[in-house]
Chains A and B, each alone.
Chain A
């Protein structure tokens, strides 16, 4: 839709963008790049969009779910685009693409962030955790297990984001009260309105874990 608000970052959460000039690095390890000619727009539907057709990407080094990655990204890619389209991590969902719903929440250096509203190039040197990175060796994380036990997911589309925010909460506050959970998770909308079950799950995850997230 020709609506600037859909592709403009209305709000940036979490980390402040770091806009330093990056050196072009010879790619080693995993290189993910757009193979087709990818003319693109900064703010695609913006009338004043700047055309960057044919411009080479920027190579960034980042850690995704514990694994070091070197990735060539286009400057207009958002973090969620990088994760979903180029790293095949589709567990992170796009609900609004404009910082309203929280379905795309991931952890950047442990902080919950709306990945729809962060540019991929800002992730140089950062450590990203997505829903795919929470369980290890077939063992669900305490929050994931509590979501299973308490029916934390109805349609499931907001679930990844809810779990990521809850994980960050428990890391800083291992046994939150229901009120603290609600306050911390206010940026994660659930249209199934499964809020009671989600709060019960997060409180239980904290209690079960004896205070260690």
Chain B
């Protein structure tokens, strides 16, 4: 008998079946796929000519481009895109403050929580805005640096102060004149977002963590430190710790801060750079101490008493999320009415009580105290004077600087 168990010993139909399974099964991709790839290559060579014709036009637009026909009068509605968990929510997923707005004005708000990440949201709406088209959104809420970029690109409609009496009067002083939108001509802040230090008492063994230096150097925290993927918060806090001012940061300051962070990262001090997902790691204790956003902390503390926060003596960063009306939006007037409504202290207090971020509205303290005394006294929602004095923001960057800074920061985070 032959040692080989070749197909010779099979019946013709069996051989045929085996051949079939190999030539028309998945394996059939071999030669044909190569041919196809070759064909695609040929097409690609022929298409090179077509490539030259492509290009991405300048993204910037002028003010005249983005003025839109306003349909607010005849269409009593508007579309508002916001972050998740950023609006008071009642039974059945309804939003009581928005319902109250509709009862008062007859304007129906189509509220969508479709912003999870600034850069992703920018990628999503960029094609329409760059082409000068309506995004289908009348009001959006994005973080200050993105708001600055969009205003710089001319994608945002200027607001009419005459339509915003409450907003104009009640906007708290620290929020009035950001360097990227002087006089708040295009934007109104939705919330302030302090970036501070948080730690898990159990994981640190009862140690207090109060400074960025400690985060980056304390050997007891090695491998259990979390930093934020938000460049301005992580680098800003580090700059403050180094005695530099993020409001006037130079390229050299920036490089020095990156080098400081890189050193800590190379030593294995840093476990991860995270977005919002640090909350889970901190609760479990996988991250012992980290940079964290104040609004998350109030929630985390109520779930886990081991979580503590610290305001660094060197100061902390406050970013803002801002309400903007994108160009070509059909219901600008309605959007302005909604912004103005949010600046009534009663309404602002209701939202602040729910979302727990810094409220940029003057006169909200009394209203918030009526809802919950503890919240009104919480410096993470309404910073007292001592704390407010330590608040800093990152200076606005030109697009070239921004690209260079982001590239250096991306390298620091490993990508």
The judgment on whether A and B are partners is no
Chain B residues proximal to chain A, CB less than 8 Å = none
Chain A residues proximal to chain B, CB less than 8 Å = none
